[in-house]
Amino acid sequence: EMQLVESGGGLVQPGGSLRLSCVASGFTFGSYEMNWVRQAPGKGLEWISDINSRSSGVFYADSVKGRFTISRDNAKSSLYLQMNSLRAEDTAVYYCARKGEVIAFDVWGQGIMVTVS
């Protein structure tokens, strides 16, 4: 079974930092682009970052560019999101998601809550 499991969320003060991790299993992690998507409480989905399979291409939404850094370790089947200079508006559930062959998010993690307060 394909699975993504996030960790590292929690409560952090404004201006602080947090590092999210996402461990993949059940598929060849190193063959896929991976993404982070977030959802603020009661709000819609917001794509925030993408990394290609070899880490040679990374992309960010304007809302996090310059503050967040996406990375991966294919040997560990792991995806990361380093979040710096956190703001109250970064409060959300953060999902890691696989971009599959259909060029869509076909596998999602269960989500991890990040609260900036």
In the complex, the residues that contact other proteins under the rule CB under 8 A are: 35, 37, 44-47, 50, 59, 61-62, 95, 99, 102-106, 108-111
As measured in angstroms, the least distance from the Cβ of 48 to other proteins is 9
As measured in angstroms, the least distance from the Cβ of 87 to other proteins is 20
Nearer to other proteins, 16 or 40 (CB): 40
Residue 50 has which token pair? 């993408």
Residue 90, classified by CB atoms within 10 Å of its CB into exposed (0-12), middle (13-18) or buried (19+), is buried
Nearer to other proteins, 8 or 12 (CB): 8
As measured in angstroms, the least distance from the Cβ of 44 to other proteins is 4
Nearer to other proteins, 13 or 66 (CB): 66
Residue 102 has which token pair? 């259909």
Nearer to other proteins, 88 or 102 (CB): 102
Size of the chain, expressed as the number of residues it contains: 117
Tell me the C-alpha to C-alpha distance, in Å, between residue 79 and each of 6, 60, 93: 9, 15, 16
What phi and psi values does residue 90 have, to the nearest 5 degrees?
-85, -5
